[in-house]
Structure 1
Amino acid sequence: MNFIVTGGAGFIGSHIADHLIEQNHSVTVIDNFHATKLENLSRFTNKIEILDMDILDYEKLRNVVKNADGVFHEAALTLVQESFTKQKEYHDVNVTGTENILKLAKEFGFKVVYASSSSVYGNTKKVPIKEDAERKPLNPYGNTKLEDEYLAEKYSKLGVPIIGLRYFNVYGPRQNIAYAGVITKFLENIANRKTPIINGDGLQIRDFVYVGDVAKANLIAMESKVNFAFVNIGTGIALSINDLANIIIKASGLAIKPVHGPPLEGDVRTSQADVSLAKKLLNWKAETKLEDWLNETVQQIMKN
């Protein structure tokens, strides 16, 4: 199949591109390299068509996607804190850019699997969070992802096959600060033999899901007969930020304790997925265990 990955040089997009190549698909990556790196695609550079292009350039986009069998739409601005100060830019890229993809999907008839986010939920009353929970984002980034869901609903009614995968906290190789990963920040501190800094009291709950599992979920969603859904992509396992810091410190063997800084604006308190719909609709389940991956990664870091 001939697939396109927008934001395909980014953290999640590059893993989707790798997985597609491993499954013998044709892959074109569209990326403007705003916060992404060509080296993320180094495993299969010779097998992937890479286009330095912006999803806001509608005519160029149209020429590229017209022969696609499906589009994995990962291109987005993702920094929660930055979204407060760059609201127009976040709306342009995350909402207008997404609508460009959906308009073209309607014109050319391809399926779209795109990156939604657990940030659409905000602080929910019930945990684990089911897909039918009320959507009340706490920050402008989350608002753009909610607007994308409204667009998905609209274009689905116009006949576009579309699945929005609500990613929880994705982690793994190639994660950078642009993806705002707490794991990345903690590991960076450990690499510099510094203590992890926790924003707030550390009692925030997160559901960490491995990027390789997320890439598999994307292809399963694309190949499924499901024509419209929003699906949580997480593990269903809750972990506090304090516990995360302690796992990393323990693995490092360093005699340090985490330090607490001020809480972040727009930070969700509790985020844990109910993953039963992913299992039922897509027969997908996360396989990688966070603690195993952390132990292995920290040991590698400590050797350097």
Structure 2
Amino acid sequence: YFSVYGEPQIPKPGSHSWMVPWLSLQARLGRPMRLNGGGVQVRDLVHVEDVAEATALALVEEGMAGRTVNVGTGRPTSVREVADLLTPYFPGARRIVTPRPEGDPLGGYASTERCRELLRWRARIDVAQGVDRYVRWLESTPEAVPRWLVEENA
């Protein structure tokens, strides 16, 4: 699996992965979205529903026995692109550029040919749709915002 995201994903204290939830929560709380290293890092963001579908197919597809496939979209999405998608949902959302943490990979994306061939599957939820679904879930579930995050830097 590449970078899985989607509702009801909420980051744990001390974690800074899970780009869509992190940036969404920061913007929702009126905090700046941090673009470490300018936000040029890319990830292959694949929605959890697409991951579930690919996994279910892999369990029943005979040609998958002993095989490995990448489950992703095959498309790179930068941190900056995610911030761009989130901005319309949070008027006044700010961004700050911070240094890229040591060891933070510039990223990559999945080669999905084998997955398409063996499972006849491809991700259906693009990042714009996934971000929209996540933000709508977050807005309809205010209790999902973790208390530790609200209290952090309060």
TM class by shorter chain equals 0.7 to 0.9
Task: Name the CA shift for 1:220/1:209 in 2 (closer, same or farther; >3 Å).
Answer: same
Which residue identity lines up with residue 246 of structure 1 in the other structure? D
Distance (whole Å) between structure 2 residues aligned to residue 214 and residue 299 of structure 1: 20
Do the aligned partners of residues 300 and 210 (structure 1) sit closer, same or farther apart at CA in structure 2, a change above 3 Å counting?
Answer: closer
- Partner deviation per Cα, 1:22-79 (whole Å, 9 max, x = no partner): xxxxxxxxxxxxxxxxxxxxxxxxxxxxxxxxxxxxxxxxxxxxxxxxxxxxxxxxxx
Q: Which residue does 1:243 correspond to in 2?
A: 81
**Matching of residue 293 in structure 1 with residue 130 in structure 2:** yes
Q: Distance in 2 between matches of 1:284 and 1:172?
A: 19
Q: Is 1:274 the counterpart of 2:111 in the alignment? A: yes
Q: Distance between the aligned counterparts of 2:31 and 2:138, measured in 1?
A: 13
What is the alpha-carbon distance in structure 2 between the residues aligned to residue 246 and residue 283 of structure 1? 32
How many residues in Structure 1 have an aligned counterpart in Structure 2? 137
Larger Rg: 1
Alignment of 1:70-89 (within 5 A): none
Displacement of 1:302 after TM fit? 5.2
After superposition, residues 219-230 of structure 1 pair within 5 angstroms as 219-225=56-62, 226-230=64-68
Q: 2: distance between equivalents of 1:234 and 1:296? A: 18
CA shift in 2, pair 1:223/1:189, >3 Å: same
1:249-287 CA-to-partner distances (Å, cap 9, x unmatched) read 1232x1233112221232221311121110101112111
- String of CA shifts for 1:74-97, please: whole Å, max 9, x gaps: xxxxxxxxxxxxxxxxxxxxxxxx
CA contact under 8 A between 1:168 and 1:271: conserved in structure 2?
no
Q: How does 1:92-107 map to 2 (within 5 A)?
A: none
Match of 1:214 among 44, 51, 66: 51
Q: Percent of aligned pairs with the same residue?
A: 26
SS in 1 for 2:83: helix
The answer to which structure, 1 or 2, has the higher relative contact order (CA under 8 A, 6+ apart) is 2
Amino acid corresponding to residue 228 of structure 1 in structure 2: G
After TM superposition, the score normalised by the length of structure 2 is 0.79
Q: Does 1:168 pair with 2:5?
A: no
Q: Structure 2, unaligned stretches of length 5 or more?
A: 143-154
Pairing 1:111-190 to 2, within 5 Å after superposition: 167-178=1-12, 180-190=17-27
Give the deviation of 1:189 after TM superposition. 0.8
Q: Over the residues paired in the alignment, what is the CA RMSD in angstroms? A: 2.0
- CA distance in structure 2 between the aligned counterparts of 1:258 and 1:271, rounded to whole angstroms: 23
* CA distance, structure 2, for counterparts of residue 293 and residue 260 of structure 1: 24
CA offsets 1:157-202 (integer angstroms, 9 cap, x no match):
xxxxxxxxxx111100121314730111111112212221122221
CA distance in 2, matches of 1:299, 1:194: 19
1:261 to 98, 101, 107: 98
What's the TM-score, normalizing by structure 1? 0.42
Deviations 1:75-120 (A, max 9, x none): xxxxxxxxxxxxxxxxxxxxxxxxxxxxxxxxxxxxxxxxxxxxxx
For 1:205 and 1:174, locate their aligned partners in 2 and report how far apart those are by CA, in whole Å: 22
The aligned amino acid for 1:177 is P
Q: Which amino acid aligns with 1:251?
A: Y
Q: How far is the alpha carbon of 1:293 from its aligned partner?
A: 2.6
* TM-fit CA distance, 1:208: 0.5
Question: How many angstroms does 1:298 deviate by?
Answer: 2.6
Match of 2:36 in 1: 199
Cα offsets for 1:11-30 (capped at 9, x unmatched): xxxxxxxxxxxxxxxxxxxx
